């Protein structure tokens, strides 16, 4: 079958002018907080996203956060980058597109779940894993915004015939949303190691990842497993090789921690519905 579209023909999400400045500042060796704050305050959408981030249950510790400088200090610079990614994704996900909103909701849930898991097994990587969770399905956002009708048909086929979506993507387009996500990472100035982990997300761990990257991939896969357990209808059918038990063994999660995580997954799903 001739591919409907080629990878280099896809239009990718672009950060706003001020968001791009923030990403550039964050990529420097010594980011200046005042420069970051000033750039954010010139972009009302980005500023609003950042303040919502700071007031979320994940970060808020006391009184409501009402300004950008307080928000950036509270959540830390790594999480400012996550806020930029969320703001950009929201800008390319039309509110009247059920598919785009479903993809965005799924990404936000995976990001939160990945961070919760990482806090218990690899705390130093928790912020990075939240970011990877946010961006791991950006390839789906790109496909939905470029060829929504065809992509909706492919997702429906994936669900009704129980075929992994990434497998159908490779057959239909010659590439999967993982490859698109890896390409999109350059727009957000993210480390190459994130690109490597996401490229291998739907592959069995064949030894191509180092120990740290293999652990990060396992956290992302476990986040999908746990959310799938508690969702009434799984959002997307994707290739996940390892079982929950195998993943827990790989990242040293005992039964008590797993029970807690399942409860947290239920809370995440319930929170999104309310």
One domain for residues 192 and 88 = no
One domain for residues 138 and 172 = yes
One domain for residues 120 and 231 = yes
The CA-to-CA distance between both ends of the chain, in Å, stands at: 43
Query: Per-residue pLDDT tens for 29-56?
Result: 888 999 999 999 999 989 998 999 888 8
**Residues 168, 251: Cα–Cα separation, whole Å:** 30
What's the pLDDT at 171? 93
One domain for residues 160 and 229 = yes
What's the pLDDT at 180? 86
Structural domain contains residue 2: no
Q: Which of 70, 92, 114 is the last residue in one of the domains? A: 92
Domain containing 132 — which CATH number? 1.10.3210.10
One domain for residues 150 and 221 = yes
Q: Name the residue range of residue 128's domain.
A: 94-274
One domain for residues 69 and 111 = no
Calculate the alpha carbon distances from 228 to 37, 106, 148, 235, 261 in Å.
38, 11, 24, 8, 13
**Residues 42, 56: Cα–Cα separation, whole Å:** 22
Query: Per-residue pLDDT tens for 17-27?
Result: 999 899 889 88
**Residues 147, 222: Cα–Cα separation, whole Å:** 30
Query: Per-residue pLDDT tens for 177-217?
Result: 988 887 777 777 777 888 888 888 888 766 778 889 999 99
Closest by alpha carbon to 50, among 40, 58, 42? 40
Structural domain contains residue 1: no
What's the pLDDT at 96? 81
One domain for residues 20 and 136 = no
One domain for residues 70 and 100 = no
Query: Per-residue pLDDT tens for 154-182?
Result: 999 999 999 999 999 999 999 999 888 87
Structural domain contains residue 260: yes
Residue 1, pLDDT > 50, answer no
Structural domain contains residue 146: yes
One domain for residues 77 and 103 = no
Which one-letter DSSP state was computed for residue 65? P
What's the pLDDT at 274? 54
One domain for residues 144 and 259 = yes
Kindly give the residue spans of alpha helices, DSSP state H, lying in the chain.
17-27, 33-41, 44-54, 68-75, 77-92, 98-121, 126-135, 138-146, 148-160, 165-173, 177-184, 192-199, 211-230, 244-250, 255-273
**Residues 187, 23: Cα–Cα separation, whole Å:** 9
Structural domain contains residue 4: no
pTM as predicted: 0.85
One domain for residues 267 and 185 = yes
Number of structural domains in the chain: 2
One domain for residues 264 and 222 = yes
Structural domain contains residue 244: yes
Calculate the alpha carbon distances from 273 to 105, 195, 210, 226, 232 in Å.
10, 31, 38, 17, 11
Structural domain contains residue 78: yes
């Amino acid at each position: 079958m001739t591919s409907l579209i080629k990878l280099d023909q896809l239009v990718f999400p672009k950060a706003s002018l001020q968001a791009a400045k923030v990403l550039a500042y964050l990529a420097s060796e010594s980011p200046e907080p005042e420069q970051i704050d000033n750039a954010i305050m010139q972009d009302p959408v980005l500023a609003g996203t950042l303040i919502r981030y700071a007031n979320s249950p994940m970060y808020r510790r006391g009184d409501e956060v009402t300004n950008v400088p307080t928000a950036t200090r509270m959540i830390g610079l790594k999480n400012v980058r996550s806020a930029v990614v969320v703001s950009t994704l929201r800008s390319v996900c039309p509110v009247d597109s059920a598919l785009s909103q479903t993809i965005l909701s799924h990404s936000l849930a995976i990001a939160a779940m990945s961070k919760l898991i990482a806090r218990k097994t690899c705390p130093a990587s928790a912020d990075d894993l939240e970011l990877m969770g946010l961006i791991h399905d950006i390839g789906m956002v790109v496909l939905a915004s470029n060829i929504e009708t065809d992509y909706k048909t492919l997702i429906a086929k994936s669900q009704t015939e129980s075929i992994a979506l990434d497998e159908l993507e490779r057959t239909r387009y010659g590439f999967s949303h993982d490859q698109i996500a890896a390409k999109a990472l350059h727009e957000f100035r993210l480390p190459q190691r994130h690109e490597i982990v996401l490229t291998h997300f739907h592959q069995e761990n064949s030894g191509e990842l180092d120990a740290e990257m293999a652990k990060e991939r396992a956290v992302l896969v476990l986040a999908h497993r746990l959310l799938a357990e508690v969702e009434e209808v799984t959002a997307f059918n994707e290739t996940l090789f390892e079982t929950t038990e195998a993943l827990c063994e790989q990242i040293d999660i005992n039964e008590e921690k797993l029970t807690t995580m399942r409860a947290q997954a239920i809370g995440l799903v319930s929170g999104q519905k309310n």
